[in-house]
Amino acid sequence: MRINTILSCVFIALFCSIIKAQNLTRTEVNKVIKDLPAFSIHKDNFFITGIPTNKNVNSETADVKYQVSFKQLITRNTLPWETYLFLTYSQKAFWDIYQKSKPFEEINFNPSLGLGKPIYDKTERIKSLATFSLNHTSNGRDSIYSRSWNNLALEYATFLGQKTLLKVEAWVPFRYQEDNPDLLEYIGLGKIDLSHEFIENRLIAEIMLQKGITWEWKGKIRSRIYYSPFKTLNQYFMLEWFVGYAESLINYTEFKSMIRLGYVIRTNELDFLKSKN
């Protein structure tokens, strides 16, 4: 009798936990999108500094990397198939701040126009988000220093459980051959990004993998650890280790191994995919 009682309690507890961890319904997602601020963070906004692990450390090899990224909703969920239209702009800079004149080595600009589509399961609960976008990336320079490329990209984002976010992106590049004809050997045709939240709003680990189109290992691995001692939910300290090619456009053929530490305002634009408690 005691065993049956214990098993019944365990079953009830598990059942309740499943009920508590359901995804948002279609109606709830539509309300979230309707209530979202029109202007918000897109990618992480950060300011980090660090040193190479494969070169001598000095004022010419240490640097600062920072990124500013935002998103503007043009429509909500009023377009056909409950899609919404948005603009994004991201700017990533590499600053040789430890040199005497403190020059910028490179600034990469990335505007885009995108269409978002929530995807639901058979029970009408949110399962994932698909986005289709037109992207332009360049360093804003001319002559032999000009680097740019364009692509049509499709991204699929979903939570594996309650704490692990998977993002898979594939792209079709165009109009890149003039400035950097061998670019695809280093950036490939897509990437995979996986992040896991070990402690809610406190400790997150993330890894991004990208492979060039050749059989040689030309690609990149970027791993990050986020830790927040702050009361504000989206502020973190971030430790990043980048290994590979094409961290910036100007030197995309150069292998780099950089470890950096700094401050980040982390994006929360995919939080509505999480299970609610």
Banded model confidence at residue 133, pLDDT cuts 50, 70, 90: very high
CA nearest neighbour of 204 among 233, 163, 166: 163
Q: Where are the domains of the chain?
A: 2-273
Residue in this structure with the two tokens 């499943």, named with its chain if needed: 18
Q: Per-residue pLDDT tens for 156-192?
A: 999 998 899 999 999 999 988 887 899 999 999 999 9
Alpha-carbon 262 to chain mean position:
17
Q: Per-residue pLDDT tens for 209-228?
A: 999 999 888 999 999 999 99
pLDDT, position 220: 97
Whether the full predicted model's pTM is greater than 0.85, yes or no, is: yes
Fold of 2-273: Outer membrane phospholipase (ompla); Chain C (2.40.230)
Length of the chain measured in residues:
277
For residue 184 the two structure tokens come to 């695809």
pLDDT, position 10: 41
Tell me, letter by letter, the H, E, C secondary structure of 180-231: CCCCHHHHCCEEEEEEEEEECCCEEEEEEEEECCCCCCCEEEEEEEEECCCC
